[in-house]
Structure 1
Amino acid sequence: MSSMTSMLATLVAGWLLAFSATCQAAADAGDLASKASAPSAAAQPDEAATLRILHRDILTMRGRIAGMTPQARVRRARERLEALPDEAVALPINTVQFQSGGGRGVQFLVGDLPLFSVVEGDVDADTKQDFDALVAQTRDHMEEVHAAWGEMRSRPLLLQGLLRSAGATLLFVALVWGAYRVMARVVVLMEKRRDVLAARFSHVDWREFLARVAVVVLQVLQWIVLLALTYSWAHFVLGSFVATAPIARDLGDWLVHKLSWLAEGALDSLPGFATVVIVLAFTRLVVDLLGYLFDALQKGRLRLPLFHPETVSATRRIFTVFAWCVGIAVAYPFLPGASSDVFKGLSVLFGLMITLGSTGLVTQLMSGLVVIYSRSLHKGDFVDINGVQGVVTEVASLATKIVNVRNDEITIPNSVVISSPIHNYSKLSGTHGTLLSTKVTIGYDAPWRQVHALLIDAARRTRGVRATPEPYVYQRALSDFYVEYELFASIENPPDRIPILSALHESIQDAFNEHGVQIMSPHFLGQPDHAVVVPKTQWYASPASPGPQVSSVRGRQG
């Protein structure tokens, strides 16, 4: 049992020494790679190099000895340390003074085996430390490393470290398993509560919102607990061995430094946050005052020149966006990290994206402003734009939406709207109504006065056509075979334009059939022997059913 323990201790000590040597060799490789691309030593001062043994800093070398650079001195010292026999652990640390190039120096030895030297060129002028203090500090570091080197070969200490690490690992696994199970169960319960609240309310409720936030917080907290346990386990295990104790100490110092840095950053950011809150609060106050002003303008309680009810909503949005842009621009410099390279890079990226991708967007926005401020149409108007007839349901910043007689919603970009003629049948319908017209072609054998009377009578009997002003007829053309008549009538509701026109056509057909007047559409190659009309006795031929004359508006647009 004793031999196995001795063998295990020797293997662990050898592994730790090899690990330390590997780390130091990696550091040397990094130093050599950085020096390969640097200018020559004659062109600039030598860079300092630090001698580390068992993860402990011994000395930062800055001067040359016999032409050897600090990096070469560090490599030479490590080679001597690696070549030391195992018996050197029992030898004391000795020093010998010497003169080097007109300056003092001290040689460090283990017994009578040389390790490295300290010269006056190694003193850091910035710290105001003299040569004797540097030698004393280096000796203390070497004594610490020498003691750690001896403790590494102590079998009881190695076994104690292994037992402590094994116990800590078992405790770590148990705590991770327990914390994960408990937190997972709490998260599941909170998710069920969230789903119950979501099913109970048909709208967004603050309790459901808080439940969703709680689920996210618990999930984040779960990972924070697991990371804290992992960090504590690694710190304890590394601190259980002499060779890795400095790593554990550095790990703890790193955590304390980061927490202190975060706390200091939060405290330093408080004035900036306070300024941002004040600026945004003031901006919100200005926006609320603008909202009150524009509400009064829109409801007619206040009248100002250049402000029309149709444009108040768009003007309000413009002023609101402008106020928030100014507020954000004023508050931006006070945000933590606003002057950092990250914020600057993001600002450049967003600016580039907006510049490259906003050409079409700006065109549509400007077109929307032209549509709104020209007051050519607004919501509820019956219009004809680029061959599309329907009721305007929305005049937005980028596009105008129209619902046609088939109940299809058609979206027209504002750039198309301003480049096309806009026929607004609702704009001037308040006093005399909106004019509706239709054309018929009648042969020359029909008296034109009779045709006028029939068309006007058909308009009067059509529901939806206004009695005042009275319908009237124009003769638009005297063609080779027929006369073209156009009937004009005013209607009450412009959105019912298409259904009323259909009913008017029905009335015209009935009126002309009653009086035996032939409509010349389609064209005839030769005049028939009899008039092409539908006798009244056949108006309700199968499958039509007898009933009152169909001359009413059948549907309502939009």
Structure 2
Amino acid sequence: MTFSCIFRKVPAALSLLLLACGFFLASAAIPAPAVEQVREKEATLSYHFRPIVTFRATFVGATPVIRVRRALTRIDALPPNQMEQQIELTPFTADGTRGFNLRIGEFVLFNVLEGDLDPEEKISLEAAARRTAGEMAAALQAAATQRHPMVLLKGVGLAAAATLIALILLWLIRRATTLVVGHLQHVIEAEDASNRLRWARHGWLLVQRVAQLLMGFLWLSVAYLWLTYVLARFPLTEPLGDRLSDFLFGLLYTLGVGLVNAMPALTTALIILFLTKSFNDAIGNFFKAAREGRVQVPGLHPETVTATHRIVSILVWGLGIAVAYPFIPMSDSDAFKGLSVMFGFMLTLGSAGIVNQLMSGLVLVYSRALSVGDFVDIGENVGVVSEVGALSTKMINMRNEEVTIPNAVLVGSPIRNYSRLAGARGTLVSTKVTIGYDTPWRQVHAMLIAAAEQTPGLRASPRPFVYQRSLADWYVEYELFAHMDKPLERVPVLSALHAHIQDQFNTYGVQIMSPHFVIQPSSNVIVPPEHWHAAPADPEGPPAQPERP
């Protein structure tokens, strides 16, 4: 949902809010007392949202609920001109029960009995009666004041002014949110080609949601303050406004006291985490020196420094968080404990495969089977290792494709590392040819070495060399070895090497024994030099040169 859609719904939502509040105020302006039944044997008399007294005793067969109904009937029958008169208290005793009559002139409103007292409150009957009279007088005074036209007009005027201010604040909040979000969107679109803010484009939806939540919170805050102010402007609904304001200030007070009380523990947790970070930075400097060769530690190899640093950092931070955890506010609450159990359960269910990959990654690192930059052969994949991660290893093959292999697969597969033992000599590459017994092996060696020396991409030092691998029935198998610096160019270099080998053998009239022959031909199967550039080959062109795929 876009901001434009949300903003179009603002007037309707605000209208509904104002309509509900207006209905609430209209119902509150009508002097309709209410009965609140607290418990089965108790009933509270309330008049215009003001609790007056709680009846607990049964008097002359009337239960507390019936007493409340009778009291409300008498109060409703009270003439308006007597609402502002003083309430009189008259003591009486009936059937051994002491009590006080609350009356205005000749009108008896209700009785307060000795059995109505709260045993836990520890207050006398007379004091309770006087307090009840004061509450009743305040409620009647509010009802009488509400009937004055000037009071009503003043309340409506102040409510209208508060409503106008609330609408202006809502518009300003909407306008400010639109400008901020639009500015962020403009910055993201302007920096689309930059790598610095590329992450922000992926988090654009999150930015929208956060802005919507912030705007909704501000709107609700304005509406709450507006409702509190408007209710407090009318005598009848003033108790509701006071309750809303008391709740707001009570909440702020609770949060403030909680924050102040949590400061020592929170400060301790921050100090522990700061010390943990400092210790981890010191360890990082040590491993950095070991990685650069400035520090020699037995058993710590350059290939395992990074992995060991990560493991030690995890242990250090785990210990620091474990020590700081008890000092985190609400860490000992049931909600916090339940959340911890839930996360632990989720990790237990979902981490079996991840732990397998992590342990396999550690096996690869500490066995030093491969490292970044090595030219390796893993099953059907041949290429250069570009990344050794905690869960998988990435390599770039000869077709310039990135291949991702899970570490668990690597641990269970043979790995041929052509770079591990190469050192400064480069990666070793080889190719085989089969030559008949009628050709001197020294000549074959010389031709193969000459072809290798003519091939770009192969190193002249160390010098190429040849091994005679086997003496078969029809031929001798020779294998040429040479060193190269760029393993990813293995295929084009071998292609150029094969072309130079064919040229060498054709030049000296030596037949390569492939395919096999049942009967030896009368002459050697070769290509004469005058046919080397037969159409469509370029007559002036050089042999094939290696090219990066």
TM-score (norm 1): 0.78
Contact 1:93 1:142 in 2 (8 A): no
Aligned partner of 1:476 in structure 2 is: 470
Q: 1:123 aligns with which of 118, 121, 124?
A: 118
Q: 2:134 aligns with which of 123, 137, 140?
A: 140
Aligned partner of 2:291 in structure 1 is: 298
Q: 2:411 aligns with which of 412, 418, 424?
A: 418
Give the Cα–Cα distance (whole angstroms) in 1 for the partners of residues 61 and 520 of structure 2.
125
Cα distance, 1:491 vs structure 2: 0.8
Change (3 A) 1:14 1:77: farther
Cα distance, 1:312 vs structure 2: 1.0
The answer to whether 1:81 aligns with 2:83 is no
Any idea what SS the aligned residue of 2:252 has?
helix
Pairing of 1:229-248 with structure 2 (within 5 A): 229-248=222-241
Q: 1:491 aligns with which of 470, 483, 488?
A: 483
Equivalent position amino acid for 2:161 in 1: L
Give the Cα–Cα distance (whole angstroms) in 2 for the partners of residues 442 and 95 of structure 1.
135
Contact 2:25 2:231 in 1 (8 A): no
How far does the alpha carbon of each residue in 1:430-449 deviate from its partner, in whole angstroms, 9 at most, with x for none? 26654433233455666666
Cα distance, 1:189 vs structure 2: 5.7
| Unmatched tracts of structure 2, length 5 or more | 1-22
Give the Cα–Cα distance (whole angstroms) in 2 for the partners of residues 84 and 177 of structure 1.
40
Give the Cα–Cα distance (whole angstroms) in 2 for the partners of residues 298 and 387 of structure 1.
33
Aligned partner of 1:351 in structure 2 is: 344
Pairing of 1:117-196 with structure 2 (within 5 A): 117-120=112-115, 122-125=117-120, 127-152=121-146, 154=147, 157=148, 159-182=149-172
Cα distance, 1:416 vs structure 2: 1.0
Aligned partner of 2:92 in structure 1 is: 97
Aligned partner of 2:383 in structure 1 is: 390
Give the Cα–Cα distance (whole angstroms) in 2 for the partners of residues 19 and 349 of structure 1.
52
Contact 1:454 1:508 in 2 (8 A): yes
Q: 2:535 aligns with which of 534, 538, 542?
A: 542
Give the Cα–Cα distance (whole angstroms) in 2 for the partners of residues 549 and 471 of structure 1.
24
Cα distance, 1:392 vs structure 2: 0.9
Give the Cα–Cα distance (whole angstroms) in 1 for the partners of residues 164 and 278 of structure 2.
55
| Unmatched tracts of structure 1, length 5 or more | 1-10, 36-45
Change (3 A) 1:98 1:161: same
Contact 2:375 2:418 in 1 (8 A): yes
Equivalent position amino acid for 1:133 in 2: A
Among all aligned residue pairs of Structure 1 and Structure 2, give the percentage whose two residues are the same amino acid: 38
Comparing 290-299 and 56-65, the one that deviates more: 56-65
How far does the alpha carbon of each residue in 1:450-469 deviate from its partner, in whole angstroms, 9 at most, with x for none? 55554454344434155546
Cα distance, 1:194 vs structure 2: 5.6
Aligned partner of 2:45 in structure 1 is: 51
Equivalent position amino acid for 2:295 in 1: L
Aligned partner of 2:242 in structure 1 is: 249
Contact 1:180 1:222 in 2 (8 A): no
The answer to whether 1:288 aligns with 2:278 is no
Change (3 A) 1:109 1:308: same
Give the Cα–Cα distance (whole angstroms) in 2 for the partners of residues 12 and 308 of structure 1.
77
CA root-mean-square deviation: 4.0
Pairing of 1:183-332 with structure 2 (within 5 A): 199=190, 202=194, 226-227=219-220, 229-332=222-325
Change (3 A) 1:98 1:485: farther
Give the Cα–Cα distance (whole angstroms) in 1 for the partners of residues 350 and 356 of structure 2.
11
Give the Cα–Cα distance (whole angstroms) in 2 for the partners of residues 202 and 371 of structure 1.
36
Give the Cα–Cα distance (whole angstroms) in 1 for the partners of residues 450 and 307 of structure 2.
46
Any idea what SS the aligned residue of 1:271 has?
helix
Change (3 A) 1:336 1:285: same
Any idea what SS the aligned residue of 1:427 has?
coil
Give the Cα–Cα distance (whole angstroms) in 2 for the partners of residues 218 and 160 of structure 1.
43
Contact 1:50 1:61 in 2 (8 A): yes
Aligned partner of 1:7 in structure 2 is: none
Comparing 442-451 and 369-378, the one that deviates more: 442-451
Any idea what SS the aligned residue of 2:330 has?
coil
Cα distance, 1:217 vs structure 2: 11
Cα distance, 1:419 vs structure 2: 1.0
Change (3 A) 1:169 1:222: farther
Cα distance, 1:402 vs structure 2: 0.5
Any idea what SS the aligned residue of 2:395 has?
strand
Contact 1:491 1:497 in 2 (8 A): no
Any idea what SS the aligned residue of 2:383 has?
strand
Cα distance, 1:344 vs structure 2: 2.4
Cα distance, 1:414 vs structure 2: 0.8
Cα distance, 1:277 vs structure 2: 1.9
Equivalent position amino acid for 2:382 in 1: Q
Change (3 A) 1:434 1:263: closer
Cα distance, 1:423 vs structure 2: 0.6
Contact 1:364 1:397 in 2 (8 A): yes
Change (3 A) 1:454 1:260: same
Equivalent position amino acid for 2:50 in 1: R
Cα distance, 1:112 vs structure 2: 5.3
Give the Cα–Cα distance (whole angstroms) in 1 for the partners of residues 453 and 234 of structure 2.
108
How far does the alpha carbon of each residue in 1:332-353 deviate from its partner, in whole angstroms, 9 at most, with x for none? 2222222333322322222122
Any idea what SS the aligned residue of 2:345 has?
helix
Any idea what SS the aligned residue of 2:382 has?
strand
Cα distance, 1:85 vs structure 2: 5.2
Aligned partner of 2:3 in structure 1 is: none
Equivalent position amino acid for 2:118 in 1: V
Change (3 A) 1:377 1:228: closer
Cα distance, 1:411 vs structure 2: 0.9
Cα distance, 1:52 vs structure 2: 2.0
Change (3 A) 1:178 1:511: same
Give the Cα–Cα distance (whole angstroms) in 1 for the partners of residues 369 and 262 of structure 2.
51
- Equivalenced residues, count: 511
Equivalent position amino acid for 1:280 in 2: L
